[in-house]
Amino acid sequence: MAGKSLIYKILESHLVEGRLVVGEDIAVAIDQTLTQDATGTMAYLEFESLGLDTVKTLSVSYVDHNTLQDGFENADDHKYLQDVASKYGIYYSKAGNGICHQVHLERFARPGQTLVGADSHTPTAGGLGMFAVGVGGMDVAASMAGKPFHLTCPKVTNIKLNGRLQPWCAAKDIVLKVLSILTTKGNVGTAIEYTGEGVVSLTVPERATITNMGAEMGITTSIFPSDAKTKEFLRAQGREDVWVELQADKDAQYDEVIEIDLNALVPMIACPHSPDNVKTVAELKDVAVDQVLVGSCTNSSYRDLMIVATMLKGRKIHPDVSFGVAPGSKQALAMITKNGALADIIASGARLFESACGFCVGCGQAPRTKSISLRTNNRNYEGRSGTKDALVHLVSVETAVASALTGTITDPREIGIEVPTIELPEVYEIDDSLIVAPKCDVNQSILRGPNIGEPPSNSALPETISAKVAIKVEDKITTDHIMPAGPYLKFRSNVPKYSQYVFSPVKADFAEQCKENVEHGYYNVIVARESYGQGSSREHAALCPMYLGVKAVIAKSIERIHMDNLVNFGILPLLFENDADYESIQEGDELFYHCDDASFAAGVFTVENKTKSTIYTLRTPLNERQLEIVRAGGKLNFLRNGGQ
Ligand code: MIC
Ligand code: SF4
């Protein structure tokens, strides 16, 4: 019998239902959950409505997204999150403690365990040998309630890293290279396992940079083995006791193998407006830059900050560049403060931002009109920075700092300074005082400020649907297009308010149009092409459309997390079988279809376009269980009706 991949070993040890056969529905037991504040309030409202006394998992609630607090809303949310955590047995990581994925890696992640997180970059913990998956808040709520987590058994792609990174080349360059091969679409149902001699030389924070950006590929997760480097990292974090050695069998069978020669890898850059629009840095040489930012859950570890400090020591940022650094965690910030590295960063002319998501999610630091912004984060979708026509590029820390020094896009190998060699500390500074331990106090009162709404409710799917096409969009529509973050993030706990901004970057009057259709007795349908719902795990990109009366998304393909979110909120995903159907359908068309037993049993829906007098035969990609959830009007109803 062929050997097993590491991913299948972990799945096997957690399997509750189903068989480990690619494409089959499986259910696994979940050990840990995480949420952040922007997805957390809704996840905990959903959890509360399940009526349990305590969570069944090791769960952590982070505050890292909405830390600007321009208005009472964010602080209301934080207080609600802290009260809920205290009551139900959840660790609460306060604002200032750092970005969820960075802190989770440092303080909670465990090799061999399973983690679901209400954030698409949850697979960051795969850098430490964990099976970690990004999901919507509703799925986290179900996991906290002890329900097994359902997923499609992934096919496993082995990425073999041969050779060794050359000076000035970084883990970020590896993952940008992978993105150039796999792109941001067409990877649903795939998981990646990194192996090869190149793995051995990568530290845990470097591995985490790589697993982090699996989210941009739309894969289920990625993982590195748990080896001597993992043990070293956990020991330095005072957590050696949770280390176990884990790797694939020597003769493990993979569905696909991709080899990357690290010896030949050069600094890479993702150009606007997609993380897979990758070129070599050399190709963009000498383009003037306006803004350079280091931070986000991709590149903000102690190691990353030490690279910044070492490169900047005794040098000045170019006068035409605004350069800023957001440390990923309080731990990393405290350590560079103590060892003097922060002083070198500040002396160079850098701006220091809070240990939080900040600029990465469009909360502050919007660049100037038509500017070139170089960032170490993971997403450069159009407008996400807060400036629609800004040209955001994604690079390694080394390329970012080299460019901040010269004022132009610069291959760090060209700047003639010594290559920084960063030794990871033998002991990290451990101070968990911003992590409030759970009390599990049933008498804990929960303060709900005016920003905290009700958990969403929906009724069962009607037997017949008369709907209008409320919007028709193109390929690669991200959740940032559907439900923008930035200035609207603070309305995450207030669905009626947040719903006003659905599709606002694409079609300003979308919400109005939907309301008008509903007033005239129609539901709404969204029409899209390839890879609909790329990017984040935000369930609001399904929840708010649900609130506006959307009953179906018809597309050529839909990304995994978003598809699950649609299901969780009772929206039926339907797939076009041919381009002609997509071409013929228009905004405003009137559609009619039956949601009867026969359609659900066959998984095929006959949709009549009354405006065009055409019939479309559309297939749903959902399995039986998912269809049941949609029919119930979403997962909350399904679970309350006794579904598992
Ligand atoms: C993101 O990077 O887009 C976010 C903001 O972290 C989202 C979560 C959210 O929308 O709250 C994600 O990646 O899931
Ligand atoms: Fe935060 Fe950006 Fe990471 Fe999302 S991608 S969790 S916004 S740092």
Sheet architecture: strand order including 15-17: 15-17, 25-28, 149-152
pTM listed for this prediction: 0.97
Please give the distance, rounded to the nearest whole angstrom, from the Cα atom of residue 478 to the centre of ligand 2: 15
Closest by CA to 466, choosing from 516, 513, 522, is: 522
State the fold for domain 6-264.
Aconitase; domain 3 (3.30.499)
- Residue 591 parent element (H or E): strand 590-594
Q: In 10 A of CB 640, how many CB atoms?
A: 12
Q: Which of 379, 393, 413, 529 is catalytic?
A: 379
CA 62 vs. chain centroid, Å, equals: 14
pLDDT value of residue 55: 98
Residue 513: phi, psi to the nearest 5?
-60, -45
Q: Matching CATH topology for 268-414 and 464-640?
A: no
Pick the CATH number of 464-640 from 2.30.40.10, 3.60.10.10, 3.20.19.10, 3.40.190.10: 3.20.19.10
Q: Among this protein's residues, is 379 annotated catalytic? A: yes
Q: For the chain, which residues score pLDDT lower than 50?
A: none
Tokens of 183: 């792109």
Binding site membership of 378 for ligand 2 (Cβ less than 6 Å): yes
Q: Which amino acids bring their CB within 6 angstroms of ligand 1?
A: 38-39, 65, 119-121, 134, 361, 485, 535-538
CA-based torsion, 164, 169, 174, 177: positive or negative? negative
Q: What are the extents of the domains in the chain?
A: 6-264, 268-414, 464-640
Q: Among this protein's residues, is 413 annotated catalytic? A: no
pLDDT value of residue 2: 83
How does strand 278-280 pair with strand 268-270?
antiparallel
Please give the distance, rounded to the nearest whole angstrom, from the Cα atom of residue 457 to the centre of ligand 1: 23
Pick the CATH number of 268-414 from 3.20.20.80, 3.40.50.720, 3.30.499.10, 3.40.50.1820: 3.30.499.10
* 347 Ramachandran zone, left/alpha/beta (phi>0; psi -120 to 50): alpha
Please give the distance, rounded to the nearest whole angstrom, from the Cα atom of residue 120 to the centre of ligand 1: 6
Please give the distance, rounded to the nearest whole angstrom, from the Cα atom of residue 296 to the centre of ligand 2: 6
Give the SS3 label for residue 3.
Answer: strand
Spatial separation of the C-alpha atoms in residues 85 and 205, rounded to whole Å: 28
CA-based torsion, 89, 95, 100, 103: positive or negative? negative
Tokens of 429: 């500074």
For the CA of 480, the nearest atom of ligand 1 = 3
Q: Among this protein's residues, is 538 annotated catalytic? A: yes
Residue 591: strand pairing partners: 467, 609
Tokens of 180: 């150039």
pLDDT value of residue 393: 98
Binding site membership of 6 for ligand 2 (Cβ less than 6 Å): no
Tokens of 433: 């005082």
Spatial separation of the C-alpha atoms in residues 164 and 145, rounded to whole Å: 44
